[in-house]
Structure 1
C-alpha cells in the first residue's frame, strides 16, 4: 500500500468517489510513528484504505494538514476520534474550519454568489459535510515555523491562492517540498471562492507561485498526481496557461457583456452542476483578477453582475 518516494517518506494514494477521486497522503517516518500529511475525503472507501493500513501494524504519531479542503481534512476528525491521533493545522486553517461549521451561512453565500453571477440554483445537498470541521485541533502552526514531521524538520511556507490557508512544507537541505495542491504536475489547481465570499484569490495565487523561486527544489511531492522534478519548468507552463485563459476571458467580454456563468459557457460549453462548479469558479476568479487590473468592468442589471472590457 505504501510507496517509497524518498528516504523517510512514503506515499499512500487514498481513493474515493467524486471530486478528484484520490489524494496523495504522505507518511513521514519518525521514532514514534508516522506523521501523516493530509487524509483524504470522508468516505467509506477512504476509511477502508486507512483501516487496511492500520491493520498492518502501522503507527501514526500525528496528522498535519496542508489546507482545509474536504479531500485533505476530511478524515482528520476520524483520526482524532477513532484512532486517538492528534491533528495539527495552521491558524489560518482553523479560521476556515470555523467558517465551514456554519453550513447555513456557506450555503447562503454560495447561493447568492451563483445567482449574482448568472449560475444555476444551489443543490440542496451542498454543504452537508460540515461535521468534518467540528473538532478542535491539537495544535497550530503559522508561516516560517519550523515543524518536526516524523524525524525531519521542515519550514512551513504559506501559499494562499488555491485556498486562503494553504501551506507547503519545505526542507532546504534536501531541496524537498511537500507542496499540497499549490502546484500539481498535469493539471492546474482550481482557484475558487468556496465559502461564497468575493475577493481576489488569483492575485494571491500568482504571488505565491512567484515565491517558489526562493525555494530551490529537486523533488516536489504534490497532493494529487505524480511527483514533480522540475518545479521551475512546471511553474512556467502553469503561468503560460493562466495567461492564455486570461487572454481568452478578456477577448470574450470584448465582444459582448456577459455574466461569469455566460463566459464560463463560452469557454467550457454547457455543463451539469457537478461539472460546472470548478470551471465557473475558475472563470469568476479570472474576471475578478482582470477587474482588479482595470482590464474589465462590472455592472449590474436585474440583480446580476455583467462584465465588459474596458476600452
Structure 2
C-alpha cells in the first residue's frame, strides 16, 4: 500500500507474512531525474509483489534508481539482489553489506549451533530454519556500493546525508536531510515497539554502542523521523528518552532475576517480561526465543562490562551471576 508522507516522499507498506512486525515501511523518494528506495522486505513473493506494485504506481525508472539498505536484516535487504538485476544501484554500509553477502553461505551460520549450546538453549529444540535471517535472505551476492558517515544522495530538492547509527546491527546506517529536518532511521528508533538489541559477539558492548548512537540522534534537529516499522515519529527526543528508560528497566530486571544465583542466558530470558502473545516460555515461537536470548545477552554483556555481573563457562555453557 502506497501513501504520500511528505512532498515527493512515499511509504510503501510491505507485508511481512507470519512475522510479529507485520509490515515494513519501505520509503520511495522521487524526482524527475532519479529516485531513491529505502529497504525492500523479505525475499518472498508477497514482499516483492508489494514492492514492485508501489514502484509501478509511481512509474519509476529502475535504471535511474538507487536502493539504500539501512541494515542487514532480511526484512530490509531480502530483495536487494532482485532490484540490482533490474539495474538499480544498491548501497549499504561496509559491515552490514559484507554480512548480507556472507549470510548466503552455510559457513556464516555455523555460529548458530555453537551459541545454542553456549546460551543454554539446547532443551528448546532450536532449528536454524526457524530464523528469518536464514529463511528469507537473498540467494545471490550483491555488488554493494559501500557508504558511510557523510556520503550524500541528491534527489530533487533533497540532500540526504548518511549517518552511522550501529547498535541494532553492527553497521546500521540512516539518512538525514538537514534542510527539511527529516531522518530515515531504519530500526534504530521505533514507535510503540522497542528495537531488538541483540548480541553480536563478545568483542564489543553493543548495548553501550546503541546508547551512544541514540544520544547522537537526540542532538539532531528533526521534525519527522521515518521509521521502518509502525508509525512516523514527530518527537524523536521524547521517544529516545523512553527507549533509554526501557533499557535501564531491563538491566534492573535482569539483576533482580539473577539475584544470588548463577543462571544461563536462556533461563534469564525465560524469566524476563516480553510483550508477546504466549502463556509462558514453552509457548514462545522458536524464532522469538532466539531474539529474546540475544537481547538478554546484550544486556548481560553490558552489565559485565560495567562491573555488575561476572560470567564463566561451565561444560560449554555460559553462566552469569552477580559480581561478588
Per mean C-alpha deviation after superposition, the further-off stretch among 66-75 and 119-128 is: 119-128
* Partner in structure 2 of residue 210 of structure 1: 215
* Mapped contact 1:30–1:149 kept (Cα < 8 A): yes
* Partner in structure 1 of residue 228 of structure 2: 223
* Mapped contact 2:185–2:228 kept (Cα < 8 A): yes
Q: In the comparison of the two structures, how many residue pairs are matched?
A: 307
* Partner in structure 2 of residue 165 of structure 1: 171
Equivalent of 1:178 in 178, 184, 192: 184
Check 1:119–1:4 CA distance in 2 against 1; reply closer, same or farther (3 A cut): same
How far residue 206 of structure 1 moved from its aligned partner, in angstroms, is 0.6
1:77-92 pair list within 5 angstroms = 77-81=81-85, 83-92=86-95
Match of 1:305, SS state, is: strand
Check 1:57–1:146 CA distance in 2 against 1; reply closer, same or farther (3 A cut): closer
Equivalent of 1:134 in 137, 141, 149: 141
Match of 2:193, SS state, is: coil
Gaps of 5+ in 2: 274-279
Deviations 1:259-303 (A, max 9, x none): 000100111441231221111111111001100111000022221
1:11-90 pair list within 5 angstroms = 11-19=11-19, 20-56=21-57, 58-59=59-60, 60=62, 61-81=65-85, 83-90=86-93
**2: CA distance between counterparts of 1:234 and 1:207?**
15
How far residue 247 of structure 1 moved from its aligned partner, in angstroms, is 0.3
Check 1:17–1:150 CA distance in 2 against 1; reply closer, same or farther (3 A cut): farther
Gaps of 5+ in 1: none
Check 1:149–1:251 CA distance in 2 against 1; reply closer, same or farther (3 A cut): farther
Q: Does 1:292 align with 2:316?
A: no
Match of 1:264, SS state, is: helix
**1: CA distance between counterparts of 2:127 and 2:113?**
9
Match of 2:107, SS state, is: helix
* Partner in structure 1 of residue 277 of structure 2: none
Equivalent of 2:292 in 249, 273, 279: 279
* Mapped contact 1:77–1:135 kept (Cα < 8 A): yes
* Partner in structure 1 of residue 113 of structure 2: 111
The two structures have a TM-score, normalised by structure 2, of 0.89
Q: CA RMSD in A?
A: 1.9
Per mean C-alpha deviation after superposition, the further-off stretch among 149-158 and 238-247 is: 149-158
How far residue 15 of structure 1 moved from its aligned partner, in angstroms, is 0.4
The two structures have a TM-score, normalised by structure 1, of 0.92
Check 1:251–1:213 CA distance in 2 against 1; reply closer, same or farther (3 A cut): same
